[in-house]
Amino acid sequence: MQIYEWNQVEKEQLSPTFARQVIHSDTMTVARVYLRKGCSVPEHSHHNEQISMMEQGSLKFMIAGEEKVLQAGQVLRIPPHVPHSAEALEDSVAVDLFSPPREDWIRGDDSYLRK
């Protein structure tokens, strides 16, 4: 068993408008993501199932061509291999769960986030 405290997990600033804190386990990745208003995550897909839980703010997702706005207190599931993008409608914080772990993040192969 291991206990984590978000205030002790390193915050990685990938761009002026996007930062994240990440915890990897054997079977999943947990990330707390910070998006400033106007931040855009370009369309991408991955083999990981994703659960996004909005803590504060709101994000507009395009998922397989369908627009969904996720507000604080809501949870969204994105199935594996489904193309999606996101735009922060206001300063936002979300917790994302990925299964299996985000190997591309571990390797640093996530250039679409680093702009």
pLDDT at 48: 97
Long-range contact pairs involving 43-47 (C-beta distance under 8 Å, separation at least 24): 43/83, 43/84, 43/85, 44/83, 44/84, 44/85, 44/112, 45/81, 45/82, 45/83, 45/84, 46/80, 46/81, 46/98, 46/102, 46/104, 47/80, 47/81, 47/100
In a domain, 57, yes or no: yes
- Going by pLDDT thresholds of 50, 70 and 90, the confidence category of residue 54 is very high
In a domain, 107, yes or no: no
In a domain, 5, yes or no: no
Give the range of the structural domain holding residue 22, as residue numbers without chain letter.
Answer: 12-98
pLDDT at 113: 84
In a domain, 28, yes or no: yes
- Going by pLDDT thresholds of 50, 70 and 90, the confidence category of residue 15 is very high
What's the whole-model pTM score? 0.94
In a domain, 1, yes or no: no
pLDDT above 80: residue 91:
yes
In a domain, 104, yes or no: no
In a domain, 52, yes or no: yes
User: Total structural domains in the chain?
Assistant: 1
Domain harbouring 29, CATH code: 2.60.120.10
